């Protein structure tokens, strides 16, 4: 993990989550809705889970897992204060250095909590190693498009006020990144899809308060350490035009990852060359070898 490219200030992420631990009330409905969207995937399996790890659930994931009949739930967070109020057996640990033995859990859930990890492929590999054979992994991350109007408004305002831009919103992954990340980590039956939480705000300031209260302030290492121009945020927020209903649409685009720890009872692809039917027959076409001239119609 030490060789991973460093994008985020993990110490700052932890401090911001420490501060947010006492003021999650206003953002709990959003966190709950996002967790419900993710945990709906559990309804697609008849499997029952005895030992679950939830990462960064901020008090909404552990109770939801127990309500679905999951046995023991461990709540892990980078912030000790956040872990203490998460609702499961609290563990303060770094997602980049998991302290669990191989095969510890048959379910791992990370709801909107892995997007501050510098080495996401490495973290996913550690998660898979901590899972028992045939265990299920569910995760959601903010995807490309999240906070895009705010990103563009800040960039336009900063360009007008001073030379150069400072990254003020994290980079987010694309859908095409999802399945390959799971495959690299060794998950079986990987699936990546998108989900959307349609959020609306009465004012841009309400959006900024929610980001602060969720512990989602800017922690990009290359952020400009200087105090921003006094006019930056007023200019950027004024450019966020409300819609016809007088509200500011700011949907949360989510990349949802589903994968299974390899197990002996999972479906496996058929051996190469074992097919007993020809694709040409199924398609109703005439087969010809490479280099041969197709028969005349």
Residue-wise DSSP of 150-167: HHHHHHHHHHHHSSS---
Q: Say if 114 falls within a structural domain.
A: yes
* Residue 3: per-residue pLDDT: 52
Q: Say if 235 falls within a structural domain.
A: no
Q: Which CATH number characterizes residue 85's domain?
A: 3.40.50.150
Q: Say if 132 falls within a structural domain.
A: yes
CA distance 166 to 182: 31
Q: Say if 121 falls within a structural domain.
A: yes
CA distance 179 to 21: 32
- The pair of structure tokens assigned to 249 is 């649409």
Ramachandran assignment for 167, one of left (phi > 0), alpha (psi -120 to 50 degrees), beta (any other): beta
Contact 160, 235 (CB under 8 A): yes
- Closest by CA to 35, choosing from 66, 58, 69, 4, is 58
Q: Say if 297 falls within a structural domain.
A: no
Mean pLDDT by 10 residues, the chain (297 residues): 75 96 94 97 91 98 96 97 97 96 98 96 97 97 95 93 84 89 95 96 96 94 86 94 92 96 74 60 57 54
CA distance 33 to 122: 28
Question: Which residue has tokens 């005349």?
Answer: 296
Question: Which residue has tokens 């709540």?
Answer: 75
Q: Say if 20 falls within a structural domain.
A: yes
Secondary structure percentages of the chain, helix, strand, coil, to 5: 35, 20, 45
Q: Say if 55 falls within a structural domain.
A: yes
Contact 74, 88 (CB under 8 A): yes
Q: Say if 224 falls within a structural domain.
A: no
* Residue 292: per-residue pLDDT: 55
Which residues on adjacent β-strands are paired with residue 260? 136, 188
> Which domain covers residue 106, as residue numbers?
10-144+171-218+252-283
* Residue 276: per-residue pLDDT: 63
CA distance 131 to 295: 55
- Mark 37-72 as b/e (b = at least 16 C-beta within 10 Å): bbbebbeeeeeebebbbbbbbbbbbbbbbeeeebee
Name the DSSP class of 93.
-
The tally of domains found in the chain comes to 1
Residue-wise DSSP of 253-296: EEEEEEEE---TTS--PPPTT---S-HHHHHT-----TTSPPPP
């Amino acid at each position: 993990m030490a060789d991973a490219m460093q994008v985020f200030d993990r110490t700052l992420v932890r401090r911001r989550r420490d501060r947010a631990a006492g003021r999650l009330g206003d953002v709990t409905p959003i966190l709950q809705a996002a967790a419900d969207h993710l945990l709906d995937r559990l309804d697609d399996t008849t499997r029952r889970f005895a030992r679950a790890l939830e990462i960064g659930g901020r008090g909404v994931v552990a109770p939801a897992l127990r309500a679905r009949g999951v046995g023991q739930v461990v709540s892990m967070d980078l912030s000790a204060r956040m872990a203490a109020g998460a609702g499961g057996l609290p563990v303060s640990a770094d997602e980049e250095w998991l302290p669990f033995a191989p095969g510890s859990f048959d379910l791992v859930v990370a709801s909107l909590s892995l997007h501050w990890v510098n080495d996401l492929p490495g973290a996913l590999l550690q998660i898979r190693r901590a899972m028992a054979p045939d265990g299920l992994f569910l995760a959601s991350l903010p995807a490309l498009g999240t906070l895009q109007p705010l990103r563009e408004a800040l960039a336009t305002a900063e360009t007008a006020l001073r030379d150069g831009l400072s990254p003020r919103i994290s980079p987010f992954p694309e859908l095409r990144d999802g399945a390959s990340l799971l495959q690299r980590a060794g998950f079986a039956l990987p699936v990546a899809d998108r989900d959307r939480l349609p959020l609306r705000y009465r004012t841009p300031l309400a959006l900024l308060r929610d980001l602060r209260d969720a512990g989602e302030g800017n922690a990009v290492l290359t952020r400009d350490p200087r105090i921003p121009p006094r006019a930056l945020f007023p200019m950027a927020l004024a450019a966020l035009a409300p819609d016809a209903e007088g509200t500011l649409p700011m949907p949360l685009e989510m990349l949802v990852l589903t994968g299974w720890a390899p197990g002996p009872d999972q479906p496996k692809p058929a051996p190469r060359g074992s097919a007993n039917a020809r694709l040409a027959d199924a398609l109703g076409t005439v087969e010809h070898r490479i280099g041969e001239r197709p028969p005349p119609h």
